């Protein structure tokens, strides 16, 4: 994701439109897209401010955050579970429906991985 435009630019664009210039003219003048100008006018009308909204997954908890202890215990008990089997168990026992890639990232976050070690798979040269 790109960085948001500075607040100073946002204020100058809105002030330019407030002086009576059109949105497309403001876009050409400040070398931004017409959609950016429209979005800034709409943002000021709705919120009264021109600051950028926070980006990323800040402050939102994932479906699997509270199940880390269960995941560690389940894999310690039966370490040969596949991601698909873990997805099924999560749905069956906890009512959590997630994609297998989410489970893989979740396991990777607390240091567990189901990937095989490629160094052990190699054949020894003759």
In angstroms, rounded to a whole number, what is the distance separating the alpha carbons of residues 82 and 101? 12
The maximal CA–CA distance of the chain, rounded, in angstroms, is 81
47 burial (CB, 10 Å; 0-12 / 13-18 / 19+) is exposed
- Please answer whether residues 100 and 87 qualify as being in contact, where contact means their C-beta atoms are separated by less than 8 angstroms: yes
Choose among 43, 91, 46, 35: nearest CA to 64. 91
On average, the pLDDT of the chain sits at: 86
Q: Which pTM does this prediction carry?
A: 0.51
The reported pLDDT for the residue numbered 111 is: 79
Any idea how long the chain is?
A: 126
If you average pLDDT over residues 21-39, what whole number do you get?
Answer: 96
The reported pLDDT for the residue numbered 91 is: 94
- Please answer whether residues 76 and 114 qualify as being in contact, where contact means their C-beta atoms are separated by less than 8 angstroms: no
The reported pLDDT for the residue numbered 124 is: 59
State the residue for tokens 């919120």: 47
Q: Is the pLDDT of residue 7 over 60?
A: yes
The reported pLDDT for the residue numbered 59 is: 63
Residue 2 tokens read as: 């790109």
């Amino acid at each position: 994701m790109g960085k948001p435009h500075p607040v100073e630019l946002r204020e100058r664009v809105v002030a330019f439109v407030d002086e009576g210039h059109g949105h497309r003219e403001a876009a050409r003048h400040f070398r931004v897209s017409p959609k950016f100008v429209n979005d800034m006018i709409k943002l000021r009308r709705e919120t009264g401010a021109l600051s950028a909204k926070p980006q990323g997954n800040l402050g939102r908890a994932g479906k699997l955050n509270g199940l880390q202890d269960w995941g560690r215990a389940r894999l310690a008990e039966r370490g040969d579970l596949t991601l698909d089997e873990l997805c099924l168990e999560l749905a069956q026992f906890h009512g959590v429906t997630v994609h297998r890639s989410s489970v893989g990232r979740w396991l990777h976050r607390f240091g567990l991985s189901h990937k095989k070690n490629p160094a052990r798979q190699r054949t020894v040269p003759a």
